[in-house]
Chains A and B, each alone.
Chain A
Amino acid sequence: MTLPLMKTPRSVDIEITNGCNLRCTYCSHFTSPGDVGKDLPLDEWRRFFAELKRAAVMNVTLSGGEPFYRKDLRDIIASIVENRMRFSILTNGTLIDPEIASFLAATGRCDSVQVSIDGATQATHDSFRGKGNFVRALNGIRTLQQFDVPVAVRVTIHRKNVHELDQIAHLLLEEMGLSSFSTNAASYMGLSRINVAETQLTVAERSLAMETLVRLAEEYPNRISATAGPLAEATTWAEMKEASREGRPPTQGGGFLTGCGGPFQNIAVRADGAYVPCSQLGQMVLGRINQDDLCDIWQNHKVLWEFRNRRLIPLSSFDFCKGCPYINYCTGNCPALAYNLTGEVNHPSPDACLRLFEQQGGRLPPAERLRDL
C-alpha cells in the first residue's frame, strides 16, 4: 500500500542554532540527539533557502537553541524572505529588543513569534528558566506587541506551575492583552529526562491540570488551546471513553500508529545541517543540506518511508495494547516520546495511554464539559 505524498514538504522546521543563553530545566533540546554542538554558517543556510524556493516550500519555523542568540539572524531571515517564504520563530523571548522587533515587522512575512511563559510570577517562571528571565520574556512580548509582530505564547505545564494556571491565564489574557495562548506539558525529552522528579506532572497533578484547564477554557472561550499536554489529553481521552462506552466503530486512524502526521507535511533540519524527520527525532539522520537533494530525500528516503508507514502498524500488534478498551480510538500519539520512553519509534507512547492513566488513578473532567471546547 502506498500512502499519497506531496511532491515536496510544505514547511521545514529548522534548529537554526545550537546555542542558547538559558538552560531551562525541561528543555527538550539539550542532551538530546539534536544537541550537535555546532552551527552552520550563514552561507550554507542561504544556499539551502534557495533550494527551498525551488521546492516551493511555503514556511520555515526557526527554533534552537535560541534563534535570537544568533548574531546573523537578520541575514538569515532576509534570505528566507528573499526566497519567497514566510517564517515563525520559537523563542524564550529574553533577547528581543525594539530593533529586532522592528525588523521582523518590516518583513511582513512573520506568521508568529512564540514566546515561552511558564508562570504568573517571577519566582515560578525563573525557577526553571533562571533569574531575571520572567521580566525579560514579558518585556520581549510587549516589544513585539508594540511593533505589531504576531505573538503566540506557549505555557509548558510542570510541577511548579500546575497550581498557578488561573493566575497565568489572568496574566496573559487580561494583563498582557493576548488574544490566546497554548499549553503543553514538560515531556520526557532532553533535559527533562534528567530532571523528571522536578518537571514532570504526577498523575494527580495531571488530573488537576486537566480540570483547571477545562474550566479556564470555559471561562475564556477559544482563547486557550493545546495540541499536546493535559488540555489536549482531556478532550481526546474523553472522546475515546465515550466512544468505547457506546461501542462506536473505530475513529479515523484509530487502532493504528497514526498519531503523527508530521512526515507527510514537514521535514526538519538540525543546527549542523542534518535532515531529520522531526526536531524531536534528531537521531534519525536522513542526509545533509546542500549535499543531498531535498526532493529526493522527501520522496525516496527509506527511513522516512518507514517512519511514514508506521501508520499501517496496528496497535493490536503490541503487547502494551492487548485488551485495551480504547484501542479502536487510539492513535499511539507522539513517536518521539515513544522513542524516548521505550527506545522504539514504532511503538505507542506510554505517556499518552488512557488506560495506564486510569490504572494509576487519573481522573478526567466530565465528558459533557468537554464537548464544546
Chain B
Amino acid sequence: MDEYINTKMTANPLIVLREEFDDWAILFNPDTGDTYALNPLGVFIWKRLDGTQTVSEITEAIRTSAENVPDEVGKEVEDFLRDIVRLGLASGEKPSS
C-alpha cells in the first residue's frame, strides 16, 4: 500500500473528460464508445493525473481544497484510481526502488 501512494498517475490521453452538469462529468472512450460517470471528487482527481502527482499528493490536495474531508478519503482515492487503471483509463508509474 505504501508503494502505491507514491505512484505517479497519468490519464490515458485518448480518454475524453466531458464536464456536463455542475461539477459532474463523464469519461468517454472514443475507441469503444464506453462512458463512465464521474462525481465532483472524481473530476478533481482526474484533472491531476498528469504524471507528476503521486496518489499521496492528490489525496493531500483534496484535504487542502475541501472542508470536512473524511479520514478515509485516502482509501477512496486509491480505490478510485485502481478502478480507472483496471478500466484502462489511466496508468501508474511506480517509484523506482
Contact = CB atoms under 8 A, between A and B. Distances in A.
Contacts of A86: 30, 33
- Which one of B14, B17, B20 has the greatest number of beta carbons of chain A within 10 Å? B20
Interface in B16-41: 16-21, 28, 30-31, 33, 35
A6 B20 contact: yes
Interface of B: 14, 16-21, 28, 30-31, 33, 35
Closest CB pairs A-B (n = 10): A56-B18, A6-B20, A84-B30, A58-B28, A56-B16, A84-B16, A86-B30, A7-B19, A108-B31, A4-B21
- Which one of B14, B18, B19, B30 has the greatest number of beta carbons of chain A within 10 Å? B30
B27 to A, nearest CB: 10
Contacts, number: 28
Contacts of B17: 56
B16 A58 contact: yes
A310 interface: no
A84 B14 CA distance: 7
A355 interface: no
11 contacts: A4-B21, A7-B19, A8-B18, A58-B18, A58-B35, A86-B30, A86-B33, A108-B31, A109-B30, A109-B31, A111-B33
Nearest to B22: A4
A58 B31 CA distance: 11
A8 B31 CA distance: 21
Given A84-B30, A86-B33, A7 B20 contact: yes
A75 B31 CA distance: 18
Interface string A90-126: 0000000000000000001101000000000000000
A49 B14 CA distance: 16
Contacts of B33: 86, 111
Contacts of A4: 21
Given A56-B16, A58-B16, A85 B30 contact: yes
A193 B23 CA distance: 46
Interface in A7-46: 7-8, 10
B47 to A, nearest CB: 13
Contact of B21 (A6, A58, A84): A6
Contact of B30 (A6, A7, A10, A58): A58
A164 to B, nearest CB: 35
A311 to B, nearest CB: 17
A86 B29 CA distance: 9
Given A6-B20, A56-B16, 12 more contacts: A6-B21, A7-B19, A56-B17, A56-B28, A58-B18, A84-B16, A84-B30, A85-B30, A86-B30, A86-B33, A108-B31, A109-B31
